[in-house]
Each structure stands twice: as structure tokens, then as C-alpha cells.
Chain A
């Protein structure tokens, strides 16, 4: 707690810097009030700390409240009980120090790729000219140099994700939150995007919470993999360290022996939850389908 006034940039400078957690969820319960008057408890008693420089993936069966947790860290959703601390300070309202990459298309369809990235700098008071230059730079960095003037509907799913990535990263947030960002993409595009993400992330190593249902993707990308139980009232059942060396190529790393070992380990705990979720499948879909 004495680190409270320490600038987070410095705390996150070293790859393995610990100190104050960037995100600390303490005893989080989240209950939804359903339209028919009922209640659905999505997550219960969640304790999770993500430190600066750490890439943490959250895996679990569908509908276990992974995204709910991310929304709580973003301040888009207030937990029913428990606390969210961002760099040691309780979170009030939206998390201004975080960037969020959504699963669905979140680009403004009436703006070109360039305008979409540029607009992210407007709330920070950057001048129009400088914002334009920086947006071009970022679009080049995500490989869209010649697509700056395209509207979202003229871009492929992978290209739109690249624009979203640039839009998020141009603000240089200290915490990155990603909700199954590559979910809607095909397998090959996912790998390319995964490598791009690792490449961008490894330059300055922000705290990153990555929600996915793909265990292989989680292991290939992360430093830690957190396994959540099946909902309702989902909790954290396991927390694994991934010690595979970096830099990684997420296509190649899947072929390594160490990868298989850790995959087997995590899968043993994840499998139980997935089976539970399947067993409850239909009942849960009815009450908590949108709590995913």
C-alpha cells in the first residue's frame, strides 16, 4: 500500500515487476436481476490480482461469467458485493486507466479506420493534426497502412480487430482488458492476431486480462491461466503459471513438449467444469444465457 503514489508506468517497467496489483478483485459477487423478476448469480467470491506486466488469461465454460468479471474490472458493471481496486485505489465509475477490446464489432461504422483510431485521442485533448499523425502510425503498426480510409464494412473481420486494437492502444492505457477479442475470427487469422498482440504487448508489457474459451490460445499467450468453474455462482478453481519462454510464436509453441504438459494439467481442472456446464446446459441457458 505504500506504493500507492508510485507512478504505475515505473512499477510496470520491469517484466516481472510485482508491487501493487494493477487490478485487484476482492470477494466479488455479481448478481443480475432478470426481466421476469428472478435473480441470477453469475460469479461468487472472486479474488483475483493482476500485476503490471502480467498477461493473465481467464478460461472457463461458456456462461461462467468470464466477461462479467472483465466488465467489473472495466467499471462497466458494479459488483453486488466485494471491491475492485485499480493500482491500490478503489474503482469509482468507469476505469479510466483501462482499455477494452470487445468481442463484437465496436468500431463506429460511420467513421473510417483512421477516424476511428483518431477519435480515441480526442478525450485526451490531443490536437487534431497530432491525433491524425499518431493514428496513421498506429494503423501502420497493426499492418493497415493502406487501409486508413476504408470504412469498417469494407474491412475483413481480422482487419476490423486490428483497427480496434490500434484504437485501444493509441491511448496507452495501463491496463488492457480483452473479451474473447479473436472469437469471431477464423483459426488462421486468430494465430496471426495472437502473434500481433504478443508483439505489441511485449514492447511495454501492460497488465493484460484476456478472456477466452480457447485453452490453447490462453496458454500460448499468457503468463498465468485462471480457470473458472461452471456458472451459476462461478468461482476461480485454479490458477496456473505458464513459464514458457518469451518471445513466443503461438503457432510453433503449440508443438513443444512443455506446452503439452501444461495443457494437460490445466485441462484436467477445466474438463470437470466443462462437463458440469454441459450437464446443466439447458437449465442454465434459460436463466443465465446472457450472463456469459
Chain B
């Protein structure tokens, strides 16, 4: 009962939004209809365009490119984050020496790197992967670092008393603990991998969702921009749902499921 009520309220919000949009852009209440449509398009036009795009094959090729970049950025960024997170957490000196540099690098707005990456890696997918990497790396790095450092001393002492050597401690204690922290930030890091891909495409490329939006923007095709954004939103919801499924599967031992839905 509660679920149905919630769902109908959620749908109601969407309908009100669409209705207001429709009234604003198809009546002369708020100004000239032509001008309003130039700036805001209309919900029917956007939906029609989106439907058309989703039924023609072309958009899936662009989605495929964006997905590839996202996945590559996430996988490479996570792998590097895990590696460095472990190294820094286990080597006191290393983390002490590099601490200011890591903080400085993390404070840097990554968008400014996009043109440099385009210069270094070209306009293909790798400059977008690089941008996504710089975003994902730090999230995973900090979480793994924290995960290794914050292993309960009792669990560690107990594992030692059970006779575990360094390799076994890693396998049974440090690794699961670090993974827990990493998975708790899975939504954020996957989201950032996607942000890196789309922003990279937007700033310079010849394929992908960001490119499609940019292309529409450059000819003042507002309908195309909104339609691109809608497809991007649907894409994000699908990915986020998949991440939630993976998370539920992997963190089955945790008492509370803390899954944040971006939708």
C-alpha cells in the first residue's frame, strides 16, 4: 500500500513538472510562444525526439562509447586506487612524504586537465578515460587507505593469535576491510567515472553522449540538448541500479544496507 502511494506521488511530481513546462512553452502566458520554445523547447518535442533516438540505432553506438570510457576509467582508476591505497596505508613514510602532494592533486578541479589530456592522448576515448581516472582514483584511494588503516585492532590481534602470516592477514583481514570501504563508495566512483567520460566528450571528441549534447548545443538545438540529457539520466539510473545489485550481493554480511540512489 505504502509503496503504491509513494510511487503515485513520484509520478505526480513528474506530471506537474511536465504540465508546467508545457503551459510555459505552448501558451503566451509567460511571453512569446516562439521565443519560449526556442529557449525551452516543449515536453512533447523532447519526448518525441528521445523516443526517435532510442528507436534508431545511432544513439546506442554513442552510448557504447560513453559506457566503454566509463568502465575503463572505473576499472583502471579502482585498480590504481587499491594499489596505492594499500601501499600508503602499510608504509608510514610513504604516506607522510606524499601527503601534501596527494591533497594538492585532489584539490585540483579535474576539468582543467581535460584539454591537456586531449593534447596527450588525442581526441579518442583515452583522453576521456584519463579524465575519469583522475576522479575515480582519489575516491578509491582514500577509501582503501581508510579501510586498511581502520581495521579493528582486536580483529587484527585475534587473526595474529590464530597464527596468520602477512599473506593470510592480507587475504582475510586487510583486503575484505578495504573492499568494504571501496564498495561503500561504489556509487560515487561509478558516477564520477561517467562524469569524466561525458565532460571529456563534451570538451572535445567525435563520439559519445557528451559529444551528442555538445553537437546539439552548437546549433542551438535545445530539443536535442534536453533529449540528450534525458537519455543520459536514463543511462545513469540503469547503471546505478546495476551498482546497487552488485553492492547488495557483495556486502551481504553488513548489518545495514546503505545504498544511496542517485535517481
Contacts and interface: CB of A to CB of B under 8 A. Distances in A.
Decide if the interface of chain B is mainly helix, strand, loop or mixed: helix
Contact of B180 (A104, A110, A112): A110
B172 interface: yes
A106 B158 contact: yes
A196 interface: no
A122 B159 CA distance: 11
A100 B157 contact: yes
Interface residues of A, number: 29
A111 interface: yes
A102 B158 contact: yes
A17 interface: no
B176 A98 contact: no
Contact of A94 (B152, B155, B160, B168): B160
Contacts of A164: 158
A124 B176 contact: no
A119 B169 CA distance: 11
| Most B Cβ at <10 Å: residue of A95, A123, A171 | A123
B161 A100 contact: yes
B253 A123 contact: no
Nearest to A120: B162
A74 interface: yes
A264 interface: no
Interface in A91-126: 94-96, 98-100, 102, 104-112, 119-120, 122-124
B228 to A, nearest CB: 41
A108 B157 contact: no
B165 interface: yes
A208 B181 CA distance: 38
B206 to A, nearest CB: 45
A153 interface: yes
B164 A99 contact: no
B161 A98 contact: yes
Interface string B146-163: 000000101101111111
A76 interface: yes
Contacts of B65: none
Interface string A133-170: 00000000000000000011100000000001001000
B161 A119 contact: no
A153 B162 contact: no
Decide if the interface of chain A is mainly helix, strand, loop or mixed: loop
A122 B155 contact: no
A250 B227 CA distance: 75
Contacts of B158: 100, 102, 106-107, 164
| Most B Cβ at <10 Å: residue of A107, A108, A120, A152 | A108
B63 interface: no
B253 A94 contact: no
| Most A Cβ at <10 Å: residue of B157, B252, B254 | B157
Interface string A55-80: 00000000000000000001010000
Contact of B157 (A95, A106, A110): A106
B163 A124 contact: yes
Contacts of B254: 109, 153
Contact of A110 (B154, B164, B168, B176): B176
Interface in B160-191: 160-165, 168, 172-173, 176-177, 180
Contact of B155 (A76, A96, A99, A106): A106
B57 interface: no
A151 B161 CA distance: 21
B100 interface: no
Given A100-B158, A167-B162, A111 B253 contact: yes
Contacts of B160: 76, 94
B182 to A, nearest CB: 13
Given A76-B160, A123-B162, A153-B253, 9 more contacts: A76-B157, A96-B163, A100-B157, A102-B158, A110-B253, A111-B253, A119-B172, A120-B163, A122-B168
